[in-house]
Amino acid sequence: MKFSIITAVYNRAATVAQAVESVRAQAGVDVEHVVVDGASKDGSLQVLRHLEHPGMLLRSEPDKGIYDALNKGLALATGDVLGLMHSDDFFADSQVLADVAALFADPAVDAVYGDLDYVSKDAAARVVRHWKSGPYSRQRLAWGWMPPHPALFLRRGVVERWGGYDTSYRIAADYDSILRYFGKGGIRPAYLPRVLVKMRVGGESNRSVERIVRKSREDYRALRTNGVGGVGALAWKNLSKLGQFW
């Protein structure tokens, strides 16, 4: 089994090295790291070139945003299982992909997902929020449930059949893709009950009130487009986050 881990980078010189090193540190698995840099201007490309190794495929060129970059990465990937590593994030430890691979040994499993810790932007050892995914059910999906996007791994065939990221979404293309795979696609996931990824706080979707409003509108559109739910699902999706702070 070969993993393709895709990283989209734009001006993340301060954090991208940890992301790359956490992928390279994964033990006991065959890993290809596809890194798509959007022509960064802050030295990110120089950092990446310094870290380049035979298991990394590095591409640098202008793009139309993170979802365009991720689609480029999906097109370049050659692995049996696809996953993401955002340029601000890192794997919780070196055994993450080995544990994920163990669940994919069951041919009936289309996806594996786990839990995620949000950590302080300036002190990555300090956990700010814990996202415990819990078991999947179609009913939970209709009430706003979703797995953490960076802690989700998919067989290649899922993306080949149901597509990558819809770039008409500027913030919520990840949520749209999850609803498409779990809803319309009816995929069979397996839950790995442990933290797989550490994510620094301060994501794009929460930078301002304007972006929060836009994300809510896009989330609602994704719910309706995929026939999963409506206003109630959107409300529960947001309310369910409160418990992650305790």
Q: Which value, to the nearest 10 degrees, does the dihedral of the CA atoms of residues 40, 46, 47, 51 take?
A: 130
Q: How far is CA 141 from CA 135, 162, 192, 225, 233, in A?
A: 11, 18, 18, 14, 8
* Domain layout of the chain by residue ranges: 2-245
| pTM for the predicted model, two decimal places | 0.91
Q: Class assignment of domain 2-245?
A: alpha beta
**Tokens representing 18?**
């940890």
Which strand (E) or helix (H) includes residue 199? strand 189-200
pLDDT single digits (tens) 168-222: 999 999 999 999 999 999 999 999 999 999 999 975 544 556 777 888 899 889 9
pLDDT single digits (tens) 99-136: 999 999 999 999 999 999 999 999 999 999 999 999 99
Nearest to 157 by CA among 67, 79, 99, 69: 79
Q: How far is CA 57 from CA 20, 102, 190, 209, in A?
A: 12, 25, 29, 37
